[in-house]
Amino acid sequence: MKFTQTQIDDFHRQGFLACPRLLDAAELPALRTAYDAAFTRLASQELAGKGQRMRQIMNLGEHSPPFERLRQDARIIEILTALIGPNLQLWHDQALWKPARDGGPVFWHQDNSYWNLQPATAVSCWLTLDDADADNGAMQVIPGSHLHALTHGKTSESAALVDASAHVDPAAAVTVPLPAGGCLFHHCQTLHYTAPNVSDRQRRAFIVHAMAPGTRGRDGQPIPVDDHHPLLGAGRT
């Protein structure tokens, strides 16, 4: 799927871009089966703090061939390349599952408050395997928020999760509903939030986080190209 230059310009202005049809419906059943199997087979983490909750598997692609293929999918790489530049490196992937009727929002945050990547130009592809809407945890974003890094509060001393809600005017939030197989590309400084799943429908998301090679990590050093952070697309050997 090709984006127009206007859509790419919009991404740079707004910090996000929705792609309602990335995968074909026929591709979804096998991915859902592999996703469910992974949450049964692998130890998933439950990250929680002050009512916030999410279930995640980090780097699912390293454990599940369908997701290893998906994080290198030419359709995803093509769009990430249009948004980041001609060379890409994987930062990591994540599976984030909101089971039906599972309470717990993910508070407003900028991903780069966790990562401290420099330059802050990484982009994420948040892909949903289920129809996602306001009731089951569709992504909400603040347009233009990627232009400034914010200071985030910790949800508690021990929690791994941060909270930038104090910086957010909820009236400025845009909810991005997506059909199954659709995705949302967002910049690593775009403020985003997902609400608790108050529906009877689960919401299974898979996220590919990509950056330009040479991006520096928390220690100020370029992230090495290795098995956890391989080159993607044309750069991959």
Residues that bind ligand AKG (CB under 6 A): 54, 96, 98, 106, 111, 126, 137, 192, 194, 205, 207
Which residue's beta carbon is nearest to the bound ligand AKG? 194
In whole angstroms, how close is the CB of 222 to ligand AKG at the nearest point?
23
User: Residues for the chain: how many in total?
Assistant: 237
Amino acid, single-letter form, for residue 224 = P
And the tokens for 7? 């859509």
In whole angstroms, how close is the CB of 103 to ligand AKG at the nearest point?
13
Rounded to whole angstroms, the Cα distance separating 46 from 191 reads: 22
Residue whose CB is less far from ligand AKG, 177 or 214: 177
In whole angstroms, how close is the CB of 4 to ligand AKG at the nearest point?
26
Going by C-alpha positions, the residue among 192, 189, 182 that lies closest to residue 75 is: 182
What's 216's DSSP letter? B
In whole angstroms, how close is the CB of 108 to ligand AKG at the nearest point?
9
Rounded to whole angstroms, the Cα distance separating 34 from 65 reads: 9
Residue whose CB is less far from ligand AKG, 5 or 228: 228
Residue whose CB is less far from ligand AKG, 88 or 164: 164
Residues 6+ apart with CB under 8 A from 225: 89, 213, 231
Residue whose CB is less far from ligand AKG, 54 or 122: 54
